[in-house]
Structure 1
Amino acid sequence: MRAIVDDATRHALHRPVAVFDAGIGSYAAVTLIRRLLPKQDIVYFADRASFPYGEKSRPELLGILQRTLRFLDGFSPAAVLVASNAPSVTVLDDLAGVIGPPVFGVRPPIRNALALAGERDVAVLGVRSMVESEALRAYADAEAQGRGAQVHLVDASSLVALVESGDFLFSAEKTRDIVDGFMRDLDARHPEVGVLTLSSTHLPWLRSYLDTACGHRPLLDPLEDAVAAIAPHAVPGSGMILGLVTEDERYGIEDFRRMLGRLDIILPLHAVLA
């Protein structure tokens, strides 16, 4: 891969944190990093040509992540965040040593959720392809340490669609109705749920709606743990964000720019060529 970035822009970066995913939800990680580490330079890479990660096979994900990590290593990152649950759960452990800088992922915080839930259950909210995968079920059972029956993997694709479409910004009533309906259905199927995890990077964008619909129940955002783990590796810069995007016949850079615009994000984007 090769980024179309001028030398002055590239040289302005100082040991950035690189954040990547195939969709737009990972920008929530950029927002958290900016809040916690305002001087940290960031490379934000949206690999739209590989969208969606959740529907890729294990060999495909391994190839995508190996290629992407080596590409991002060319920016001399202080750390890299794989801001997607699917590759973090299925292949990240197999990529140790591919590059020198530390690489972090985003995984459902099931142990913490169970500790908070006590005798009650936990709902892991994610996209359908992920919550129906054997990899996530195996990860959940391992993390649950004998309490796997208390962990429910719940398809939240209808909520993710609200973010991908931008409806949550422009249709507050529709968004509230869909989120409230989702929670009613969840409670009907799993009435003992006491803690929920936002295990799609899209879901934090709906936090205010989910907080209302969930009442007093805790909502755990795994991005917060990931960014906290990155913090000790931070290297202050100028707070610059470099936006990189791949495209194909399905998803173009202009389409992605419009998606960011719907989220009120104005960010210069640079093409990445295969």
Structure 2
Amino acid sequence: MHQPIAVFDAGIGSYAIVAEIHKRLPEQDILYFADRASFPYGSKGKEELLAIMRRTLRFLESYTPSAIVVASNAPSIMVLDDIRQHSLVPLFGVFPPIEEALAMSANGKIGIMGVRSLIESVALKQFIAHRATQPDNIVLINASPMVERVENGSFLFEPEATQTAVDSFIDGLFRQHPDIDVLTLSSTHLPWLRSFFETARPDCRFLDPAESVVAGLGDGTRGTAQIQGLVTESSTYDVGALQRMLQQFGVDIPLEAVTLP
């Protein structure tokens, strides 16, 4: 691979970013790293996330990437500024599209759906305070149960059960916050459930920040259009399960099981 763009998350969530890069930069080599052994990032505190990010950067830098995309909202918000000083290449993160959501909202009431550690973090509250004149109008929603349905593949292989779970989640959310009319999908796993969310609440807008993230990467580096997958495994999440999920999407890329030093 020639100066690939490396994209990583704790699982399948980041493949949506990979697909968008491949679409926009078809000659770019891409290194897709699914760190399933660390899933979920959303259950981890700042210090544990920092350790994971530093270890991951050292590993990915051995492939001489031209850029690294931290394709997860939680570490992007919570630790990206801290890890920039440890990176030898440009780092890009994924962030809740608050300004875009507020611009779309008819009443200024929006929600940010993300994993628990992000939703409960001081860093997210600070992020919101710098981007919204009325931060109290922004509801923070723990969507970790929905993220789990993506990583375990049930959204693909049990669509009816997934729709039932999404319906219940969304119904509970709107009973508490009936005025919300825009929700951000602020975990890279959540866009895989977008059609389920839209079925559950067709009058609400759901925002995926993937396109804006990829636009920020610029023109990339001409390579051979390869996509190489690297995967860490756990007893719950193995390479074979990820391969089956990708094949369900019609994606057939090589996946290599790796262990981070």
The alignment's TM-score, normalised by the length of structure 1, stands at: 0.85
Contact 1:166–1:262, Cα closer than 8 Å, also in 2: no
Contact 1:20–1:44, Cα closer than 8 Å, also in 2: yes
Mapped partners of 1:14, 1:89: distance in 2: 29
SS at match of 2:12: coil
Residues 1:243 and 2:229 aligned together: yes
Mapped partners of 2:27, 2:10: distance in 1: 25
Query: Which of 67, 84, 96 is the matching residue for 1:108?
Result: 96
Superposed CA deviations along residues 101-122 of structure 1, whole A, max 9, x for unmatched, are 2110011111221232253311
Mapped partners of 2:116, 2:55: distance in 1: 26
Mapped partners of 2:19, 2:79: distance in 1: 25
Mapped partners of 1:242, 1:269: distance in 2: 7
Residue in 1 aligned with 2:111? Answer: 123
Residues 1:267 and 2:218 aligned together: no
AA in 2 matched with 1:243: G
Deviation at 1:92, TM superposition (A): 0.1
Contact 2:78–2:121, Cα closer than 8 Å, also in 1: no
Assess, with a 3 A threshold, how the Cα gap between structure 1 residues 226 and 168 changes in structure 2: closer, same or farther.
Answer: same
Assess, with a 3 A threshold, how the Cα gap between structure 1 residues 212 and 253 changes in structure 2: closer, same or farther.
Answer: closer
Deviation at 1:227, TM superposition (A): 1.1
Deviation at 1:236, TM superposition (A): 2.2
Superposed CA deviations along residues 63-114 of structure 1, whole A, max 9, x for unmatched, are 2212222221222212110011111010101222433421100111112212
Deviation at 1:20, TM superposition (A): 0.6
Moved more, 155-164 or 256-265: 256-265
Corresponding pairs, count = 260
* Structure 2 gap ranges (5+): none
Mapped partners of 2:31, 2:2: distance in 1: 10
Mapped partners of 1:54, 1:108: distance in 2: 15
Residues 1:94 and 2:82 aligned together: yes
Contact 1:85–1:107, Cα closer than 8 Å, also in 2: yes
* Structure 1 gap ranges (5+): 1-12
Query: Which of 5, 8, 17 is the matching residue for 1:29?
Result: 17
Assess, with a 3 A threshold, how the Cα gap between structure 1 residues 159 and 54 changes in structure 2: closer, same or farther.
Answer: closer
Residues 1:205 and 2:199 aligned together: no
Residues 1:137 and 2:125 aligned together: yes
Mapped partners of 2:34, 2:125: distance in 1: 27
Assess, with a 3 A threshold, how the Cα gap between structure 1 residues 41 and 262 changes in structure 2: closer, same or farther.
Answer: same
Contact 2:119–2:141, Cα closer than 8 Å, also in 1: yes
Query: Which of 53, 59, 65 is the matching residue for 2:47?
Result: 59
Deviation at 1:216, TM superposition (A): 4.1
Assess, with a 3 A threshold, how the Cα gap between structure 1 residues 249 and 186 changes in structure 2: closer, same or farther.
Answer: closer
AA in 1 matched with 2:19: T
Map 1:141-180; keep pairs closer than 5 Å: 141-144=129-132, 146-180=133-167
Deviation at 1:259, TM superposition (A): 4.4
AA in 1 matched with 2:62: G
Mapped partners of 1:78, 1:96: distance in 2: 15
Superposed CA deviations along residues 126-160 of structure 1, whole A, max 9, x for unmatched, are 1233323333233223332x311111011223322
Residue in 1 aligned with 2:183? Answer: 196
AA in 2 matched with 1:253: V
Deviation at 1:261, TM superposition (A): 4.2
Contact 1:120–1:192, Cα closer than 8 Å, also in 2: no
Q: CA RMSD in A?
A: 2.2
The alignment's TM-score, normalised by the length of structure 2, stands at: 0.89
